[in-house]
Structure 1
Amino acid sequence: MSIYDRIGGAESVRAAVEEFYSRVLADPELKPFFAGVELDRLKSHQRAFIAAALGGPEIYAGRDMTAAHAGLDITDGAFDAVVAHLAGTLADLGVSGEDIAEIATALTPLRSQVVSVPELAS
């Protein structure tokens, strides 16, 4: 059984995306990345992306990750914050720690496609 099925399918993905964006947009460090973004369209793409990534039936037909995030000057810290918000969202929706860890592992390779501004070591 896929993670998509284990977490409850399309309705759970929809709930997760809504809660996730509520968290992200409430985060003062992340909110500026979404200024001027058509959120309904973005949420639709995110639902399809997450469903596909979790083994669901939806087909993600959006831009590749590098193109979608080009020019946004995303840092490692911002990437980590987004992953943390996603993990928190999933935990609050009752997704098991094991499934959250598997999802996080699947997202790790995306860092190189999303982060365009490496943070300097202190």
Structure 2
Amino acid sequence: MDRNFQLAKNNILLKGEINIAEQTLYEKAGGGESIEKVVDYFYEELVLKDPTVNQFFEHTDMVKQKRHQSKFISYALGGPNQYSGNSMAKAHQGMNLQPEHFDVIARHLHDALAHFGVSERDIDEALTRVAALRDDILYK
């Protein structure tokens, strides 16, 4: 095989590998439309059916909530920063969320992402980012 061709081939393969590695979680999850589907499933099939946490959403405009959550999760996964809602502390003020509530929501997010084929490795990375917000959400 021609040495120049082999070098070019290796360079293309290397660039392809770099592009895959540089892909954000947002892109790996399929982008905005996919995130909206994950969020819809997250609420409709998991959160709102779970008596541990569904009471927190009894008087919530779920259309607005899903829109905010889609933007927030998109940003948290490395997508565009379109989230313009309250800070996490302010958004959860007066709710007195406890660790078990946070853990249930995190588990539901895991399950929603898994339902749509996101890898465990990528889910772990996403949940690590969400876990960084724990102190801003609990006991408010």
Structure 1: 5+ residue stretches without partners? 118-122
- Determine the structure 2 residue equivalent to 1:65: 88
| Separation of aligned partners in 2, 1:112 and 1:103 | 17
Q: CA deviation at 1:95?
A: 0.1
Q: Structure 2: which amino acid aligns with 1:11?
A: E
User: Aligned residues: percent identity?
Assistant: 38
SS of the aligned residue for 2:139 comes to coil
| Separation of aligned partners in 2, 1:30 and 1:57 | 28
Aligned equivalent of 2:131, options 108, 113, 117: 108
Q: CA deviation at 1:109?
A: 1.4
- Determine the structure 1 residue equivalent to 2:31: 9
Q: CA deviation at 1:108?
A: 1.0
- Determine the structure 2 residue equivalent to 1:75: 98
SS of the aligned residue for 1:46 comes to helix
| Separation of aligned partners in 1, 2:49 and 2:29 | 25
- Determine the structure 1 residue equivalent to 2:20: none
Q: CA deviation at 1:17?
A: 0.3
Q: Which runs of 4+ in 1 moved over 6 A?
A: none
Root mean square deviation of aligned Cα: 1.0
Task: Give the TM-score normalised by the residue count of structure 1.
Answer: 0.93
Q: How many residues align structurally?
A: 117
Q: CA deviation at 1:44?
A: 0.5
Greater CA radius of gyration, 1 or 2?
2
SS of the aligned residue for 2:84 comes to coil
| Separation of aligned partners in 1, 2:78 and 2:102 | 23
| Separation of aligned partners in 2, 1:105 and 1:92 | 19
Q: CA deviation at 1:57?
A: 2.0
